[in-house]
Amino acid sequence: MSLLSIRDLVTEFESPSGTVRAVDGVSFDVQPGEIFGIVGESGCGKSATCRSILRLFGGSQARISGGQIVLEGAGDLPGLNERQLAQVRGRDVAFIFQDPLTALNPTMKVGKQITEVIRRHQKITRAEARMTALQLLKDVQVTSPERRLEAYPHELSGGLRQRVVIAMALALRPQLIVADEPTTALDVTVQDQILRLLRERRDKLGTSIILITHDLGVVSQICDRMAVMYAGRVVETGAVREVLDRPAHPYTQALLAALPGRVGRDHALTPIEGGPPSLVSPPPGCRFAPRCKHAQAECSIGAPPPLHSREGSSEGHVDACILTEVAHVPA
Ligand SMILES: Nc1ncnc2c1ncn2[C@@H]1O[C@H](COP(=O)(O)OP(=O)(O)OP(=O)(O)O)[C@@H](O)[C@H]1O
């Protein structure tokens, strides 16, 4: 049974230019102990999809206007009231954002922030919570953890701050961690360490992780399955090896072709021309058609094509391109 099952999710924001349908019919499952990657260009709805899980919309005028988000043991999350959802936050699902400072209170010592998270959900003494906080910092390989407990966030480096955020995310042993570009703001060595840390938690505790990234290299390094999003929709999903080795959708092919790592393997670096469409009034048919080098007239008609498996594809590898005969043309 899936740990998380998202079906036909629709999430909209009100903006001065109209209603932005940031997520438009997204479906995917996350299995227990799985690292699930979500990739796509900026603005394609990766964050909005994941923020919908816990309705973490900040001050934005956002609403979930369709679909289900079923978390094992907690039920359909959009149906929960704020009080019920507050229980799920942290205890069952924890978030790690790109900028650790947004998750930390600048005026409170790190130790107090971690112990407060723990004591909000567990009936233990302050001293016990402090011991747990210390152990958590050790678990995420923070050096001199006793000293760090007494530090304020601004006194730590970016990498240390992100470790503190991860320690807070791990505090209640959630079943699911959602990491939204957790390493983008960090330098490359620290990025690797943080990713290794996340994978270790999965290996040791069986925690499921959703990892949002625009970096296919990161997906290839640590994810088991992945979804490729474009203009508010999933256009391809499957096992990472399948999707990256046999990309079916022209958008996935184009993303891979634009990867610098492929230069030198007989692939010239070919950035995808143009940009994603407006999500206030997206084009009809396949939303990638205006940028797709394989597009035909039929691609730009009617509703966006649904995900389907195609001849010869492995189980669970599905894509949303109607041009079966050209979709396998190598990019
Ligand atoms: N608070 C908001 N108000 C209005 N529109 C928003 C808001 N947040 C996001 N959007 C819009 O929703 C769409 C999806 O944004 P989202 O942040 O989910 O994309 P993303 O794929 O996560 O991008 P990035 O990689 O840049 O984080 C975009 O068109 C964006 O402009």
Q: What is the pLDDT of residues 79-118, one digit of tens each?
A: 999 999 998 987 899 999 888 888 899 999 999 999 998 9
Q: What's the farthest any 2 CA atoms get from each other in the chain?
A: 68
* Residue 305 pLDDT > 70: yes
Report CA(288)–ligand 1 centroid distance (Å): 17
Rounded Cα distance between 292 and 273, Å, is 9
Who lines ligand 1 at CB under 6 A? 13, 15, 20, 22, 40, 42-48, 60, 214, 279
Nearest protein CA to atom 25 of ligand 1, as residue? 42
**Of 142, 155, 149, whose CA–CA distance to 197 is shortest?**
142
Q: Looking at residue 331, what is its pLDDT?
A: 44
Chain centre distance of CA 23: 13
Beta bridge partners of 59: none
- Residues 4 and 176: beta-carbon distance below 8 Å: yes
Q: Looking at residue 324, what is its pLDDT?
A: 61
- Which range among 38-47, 121-130, 183-192 shows the weakest confidence by mean pLDDT? 183-192
- Structure tokens belonging to residue 52: 């919908």
Tell me the per-residue pLDDT of 253-298, one tens digit each, with 9 for 90 and over: 999 988 766 544 555 567 788 999 999 999 999 999 999 999 999 9
- Residues 190 and 156: beta-carbon distance below 8 Å: no
Instruction: From 9, 44, 56, give the residue whose CB has the most ligand 1 atoms within 8 Å, as the site to mutate.
Output: 44
Q: Looking at residue 263, what is its pLDDT?
A: 44
Q: Looking at residue 269, what is its pLDDT?
A: 64
Q: Taking residues 300-314, report their average pLDDT.
A: 90
Q: Looking at residue 327, what is its pLDDT?
A: 47
Rounded Cα distance between 282 and 132, Å, is 49
Q: Looking at residue 60, what is its pLDDT?
A: 84
* Residue 140 pLDDT > 90: no
Q: Looking at residue 120, what is its pLDDT?
A: 86
Rounded Cα distance between 100 and 114, Å, is 14
Please state which of the four CATH numbers 3.10.20.740, 2.40.128.720, 3.90.580.10, 3.40.50.300 is assigned to the domain occupying 1-92+174-331. Answer: 3.40.50.300
Average pLDDT across the chain, whole number: 90
Query: The pTM is what?
Result: 0.91
Nearest protein CA to atom 6 of ligand 1, as residue? 13
Rounded Cα distance between 136 and 153, Å, is 16
Beta bridge partners of 19: 14
Bin 113: left if φ > 0, else alpha if -120 < ψ < 50, else beta: alpha
For the chain, which residues make up each domain, given as ranges?
Answer: 1-92+174-331
